[in-house]
């Protein structure tokens, strides 16, 4: 019997969707979740480094699950979150701010 891995497990999600050979599956997943079709559909051009630079010395670096750049130049940060952690919305804003300043 084949045992399937649960894509909701962080390391499995990152390993599967971060694998360039699964780019079309990632595109299909993102387009489905974001309900994008036709000219609006995401076409991944580049997988970006998921590490984000430190803003202050002594502060830890942060890592996102996936970061991609599309053919249209848009950048997407992808986070797999199965629980509603307190402060998750603030963490996402922090990731967004860091990504914006690194462009």
Q: What is the Cα 69 distance to its own chain's centre?
A: 10
Q: Is residue 89 part of a domain?
A: yes
Domain assignment of residue 54, given as a range: 10-102
Q: Is residue 52 part of a domain?
A: yes
Which three-class secondary structure state does DSSP give residue 28? helix
- The values of phi and psi at residue 14, to 5°, are -65, -45
Q: Is residue 15 part of a domain?
A: yes
Q: Is residue 73 part of a domain?
A: yes
Q: Is residue 5 part of a domain?
A: no
Q: What's the pLDDT at 85? A: 74
CA–CA dist 48, 3 (Å, integer): 30
Mean pLDDT for back-to-back runs of 10 residues, the chain (103 residues): 82 91 95 94 90 63 83 88 76 72 64
What total number of domains does the chain contain? 1
């Amino acid at each position: 019997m084949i045992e399937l891995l649960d894509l909701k497990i962080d390391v499995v999600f990152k390993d599967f969707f971060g694998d360039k050979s699964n780019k079309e599956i990632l595109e299909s997943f993102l387009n489905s979740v974001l309900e994008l079709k036709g000219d609006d559909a995401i076409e991944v051009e580049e997988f970006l480094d998921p590490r984000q630079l430190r803003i202050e010395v002594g502060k830890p670096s942060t890592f996102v699950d996936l970061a991609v750049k599309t053919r249209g130049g848009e950048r997407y940060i992808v986070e797999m979150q199965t629980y509603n952690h307190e402060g998750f919305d603030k963490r996402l804003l922090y990731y967004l701010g860091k990504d914006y300043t690194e462009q």
